[in-house]
Amino acid sequence: MTTPLLETRKLNVRFGGVHATRDIDFTLAEAELRCVIGPNGAGKSTFFKLLTGQVKPTSGEILFRGRDITAMQPHEPGRFGIGIKTQVPSLFNGLSVWENVWLAARRVSTPMQTERVTREVLERVGMLSHREAITGLLAHGERQWVELAVVIAADPPLILLDEPAAGMSDAEVARTAELILEINRRHALVVVEHDMSFIRRIAKKVTVLHQGAIIREDTPECIMGDPFIKQIYLGKKPH
Amino acid sequence: MTPANENRTIPVPDALARFSRSWKSAALALAVGMIMLLVLPRVLDDFSLVQATVYAVMAILALSLGFVWGFGGILCFGQSAFFGLGAYAYAIAVTNMGDSTVPFVLAIVVPAAFAAVLGYLIFYGRLSDVYMGVITLTVTLILFNLINSTAGPEWKIGNAPLGGFNGIPNIAPLNTPGNVDDVIGPRGLFELSLGALLGVYLLLRLLLACKVGRVIVASKENEQRLLLLGYDSRLYKLFTFVLGAAIAGLSGCLFANWGAFTSPTVFGLAQSAQIIIWVIVGGLGTLVGPVIGCVAIQWLTTQIGTQQTINSNLVLGAILVVFVLMVPKGIVPTVGGLGVKLLGAARRKPEVSGDKRGVAQDDHHNATRKEAT
């Protein structure tokens, strides 16, 4: 068996009395695209924070390409090749769009390459015309694209996307799905989403989190047909 | 993919922001400095030249905090500690060694090394910004008290008595490397100080234009994002802190040369507060601002000092309050903004109609030109 890109073993986090994740065993192959769903408070964001070193696990281990990265410093996930697009775009607001993407590209590229990569990536997400704009003054949707560009520019083997389609129009959602499939040709992705039609469009396999634990792992069709999952999502439109 | 709303104008930086970040502004600042370097020694009398020298020396100190705070986002209350360490390191070393070459280097290296140790504890200990202020202030006051209590003859390093609150008098001036008899005069010290100011300014502009500088600014903007991208922000902050200390040390060395004297007041609370006032008044987030703020405040302090009616500290306090409340951006950004507005108004007058189109075309032209470079 080949080494998976990402593997977590019995990952647990407790914040005081709250058991945020319970014994998470998660495996992701190279270039796989996985969706993670679950109601609010299921532990999705905590799971992403664990993978990016922002939260330390109480117990368990995280392996990236077979290497134990559990005890990493906050800047090391980015070095190992894990990129994240957060739910609320996290960007250098006072800097221009170009500088935001440039900083991401520059860490992994030579100065000459950086200029080219920055231009290419901005073109890919359709923000090249906004390259001189001050990032903090852009609309929410535009900031989503810029953050996506920042993540792609660093060229990590694994990209985590936290609700990439939130707050987007239908046309934008369709474009985002297209872009994610395009990114997936070169990068593995883990996507947290609520929108089931969006998930059906991009994912072959879905992981369901509930109360901090993984309860199902299956195709989107089977997941959507599961009455228990419908029940825990009650109150949310399963589309 | 097209942006969500095409009718919305793209929020590009205004003309002033573009100018302040272009090489034109650096060239302008350096040109003004060069002219002063050539002209002032010819037109000023000796007293004014000595006065101008201390302005330049202090402007280097202001620049160091302007960089550390305005660009690195590190509010350091201890810039005067590095300044004082530079002055004392020079004074002690030159008294022991005679030749000033190594003491000059030590005046820069000792504060930098001290900042490296202090900064390592702060940044690698991941202390928050509040503690940054508390620790730097405390360290400054500790140094002040420490040096202040070294009055007895038993307190000396080599041949150099520390002098306690009386300070170290008769510090030997800088000399041509290797030639102890060829010492620097008032004119030479002016040229060296202003030259050093211009050199530091150029160095910082170059630094801010390259990768390290951009990462430093980014760490002020959003440290979390910087970490997620894989940059070790601690290292960049430490570098900023150490470079700021080295520049402050250089300023301290020149200060010790200027008065041939140094005392514990260089570590004092008043000195620390003054640097912060210079930066706020001149303009945080600019490099020219702290220099202008420093010169303006010092000139004003001297002017007020010549009369007896009002206490100069009261006036300084009032100025700080007025600036924080009414000119929060500081002199340079505010005056610059006014200048750009006036220029824009003057340019717009000839063609009242088609005004917007003209500007749009201009922007488009700029954009395409930038693409070409």
Question: Are residues B228 and A83, on separate chains, in Cβ contact within 8 Å?
Answer: yes
Q: Can you state the angle between helices B186-209 and B46-70, rounded to 10 degrees?
A: 20
Report how far apart, in Å, the C-alpha atoms of A116 and of each of A109, A111, A154, B371 are: 10, 9, 13, 12
Q: Which domains does chain A have, with CATH numbers?
A: 1-73+156-163+177-239 (3.40.50.300), 82-154 (no CATH)
Residue B233 confidence class, pLDDT cut points 50, 70, 90: very high
CB B69 within 8 A of CB B279: yes
Closest approach of B237 to chain A, Cα-based (Å): 14
User: Which residues does B62 contact at the CB level (< 8 Å), separation at least 6?
Assistant: B275, B278, B279, B282, B290, B291, B293, B294
Residue listed under structure tokens 């008043």: B270
Residue A231: CA atoms inside 13 Å, Cβ hemisphere, count?
3
Region A115-120 average pLDDT = 96
Region B80-109 average pLDDT = 95
Question: Are residues A95 and B217, on separate chains, in Cβ contact within 8 Å?
Answer: yes
What is the structure's pLDDT at B350?
A: 59
User: Which residues does B13 contact at the CB level (< 8 Å), separation at least 6?
Assistant: A96, A132, A134, B21
Q: Is B306 exposed, middle or buried (0-12, 13-18, 19+ CB in 10 A)?
A: exposed
Closest residue to B230, CB basis, from A79, A133, A169: A79
| pLDDT one-digit tens code per residue, A20-30 | 899 999 999 99
Q: Within 10 Å of residue B116's Cβ, how many Cβ atoms? A: 16
Residue A82's beta-bridge partner residues?
Answer: A158
Q: Does A164 touch chain B (CB under 8 A)?
A: no
Closest by Cα among B170, B173, B165, B194 to B267: B165
Question: Are residues B227 and A78, on separate chains, in Cβ contact within 8 Å?
Answer: yes
Closest by Cα among A55, A105, A94, A52 to A75: A52
Tokens of A178: 């297209």
Residue type present at position B280: I
Percent of chain A clearing pLDDT 70 (strictly above): 97
Report how far apart, in Å, the C-alpha atoms of A170 and of each of A124, B4, B233 are: 19, 11, 38
Question: Are residues B214 and A94, on separate chains, in Cβ contact within 8 Å?
Answer: no
**Nearest residue on chain A to B222, alpha-carbon basis:** A92
Q: What does the alpha-carbon distance between residue B248 and residue B112 come to, in Å, rounded to a whole number?
A: 9
Q: Does B155 touch chain A (CB under 8 A)?
A: no
Closest residue to A78, CB basis, from B10, B218, B228: B228
Residue A234 confidence class, pLDDT cut points 50, 70, 90: low
CB A200 within 8 A of CB A206: no
In angstroms, how far is the first alpha carbon of chain A from the final one?
A: 37
- Among B121-125, B159-163, B201-205, the minimum mean pLDDT is found in B159-163
Report how far apart, in Å, the C-alpha atoms of A13 and of each of A6, A10, A55, B10, B291 are: 18, 10, 8, 43, 51
Question: Are residues A145 and B3, on separate chains, in Cβ contact within 8 Å?
Answer: yes
Closest residue to A132, CB basis, from B2, B12, B229: B12
Q: Does A115 touch chain B (CB under 8 A)?
A: no
Question: Are residues A107 and B221, on separate chains, in Cβ contact within 8 Å?
Answer: no
DSSP, residue by residue, B257-276: HHHS-B-GGGGSHHHHHHHH
Residue type present at position A107: R
Q: Please report the number of interchain residue pairs, chain A to chain B, with beta-carbon separation below 8 angstroms.
A: 100
What residues of A are in contact with residue B2 (Cβ under 8 Å)? 126
Question: Are residues B227 and A74, on separate chains, in Cβ contact within 8 Å?
Answer: yes
Q: Does A55 touch chain B (CB under 8 A)?
A: no
Q: Does A137 touch chain B (CB under 8 A)?
A: yes
User: Which region holds residue B10: left if phi is over 0, alpha if psi is between -120 and 50, else beta?
Assistant: beta
What is the structure's pLDDT at A158?
A: 96
Helix (H) or strand (E) segment spanning residue B52: helix B46-70
Q: Does A83 touch chain B (CB under 8 A)?
A: yes
ipTM of the complex: 0.91
- Mean pLDDT in chain A? 90
Entry pTM: 0.89
Question: Are residues A75 and B227, on separate chains, in Cβ contact within 8 Å?
Answer: yes
Helix (H) or strand (E) segment spanning residue B157: strand B156-157
Region B55-67 average pLDDT = 97
User: Which residues does B118 contact at the CB level (< 8 Å), separation at least 6?
Assistant: B78, B135, B136, B139, B241
What residues of B are in contact with residue A84 (Cβ under 8 Å)? 228
Q: What does the alpha-carbon distance between residue B137 and residue B122 come to, in Å, rounded to a whole number?
A: 13
What is the structure's pLDDT at B248?
A: 97
In chain A the beta strands, taken as DSSP E runs, fall at 6-15, 18-28, 33-37, 59-64, 67-68, 82-85, 158-162, 188-192, 205-210, 213-218
Tokens of A160: 């985590």
Is residue B4 scored above 90 in pLDDT? no
Closest by Cα among B271, B283, B280 to B324: B280
Question: Are residues B221 and A95, on separate chains, in Cβ contact within 8 Å?
Answer: yes
Q: Does A150 touch chain B (CB under 8 A)?
A: yes
CB B164 within 8 A of CB B148: yes
What is the structure's pLDDT at B81?
A: 95
Region B159-170 average pLDDT = 88
What residues of B are in contact with residue A145 (Cβ under 8 Å)? 1, 3
What is the structure's pLDDT at A39?
A: 86
CB A39 within 8 A of CB A236: yes
What residues of A are in contact with residue B227 (Cβ under 8 Å)? 74-75, 78
What is the structure's pLDDT at B349?
A: 65
Question: Are residues A103 and B218, on separate chains, in Cβ contact within 8 Å?
Answer: yes
Region B117-135 average pLDDT = 91
Is residue B7 scored above 90 in pLDDT? no
What is the structure's pLDDT at B371?
A: 36
Q: Does A127 touch chain B (CB under 8 A)?
A: yes
Q: Can you state the angle between helices B79-97 and B269-282, rounded to 10 degrees?
A: 120
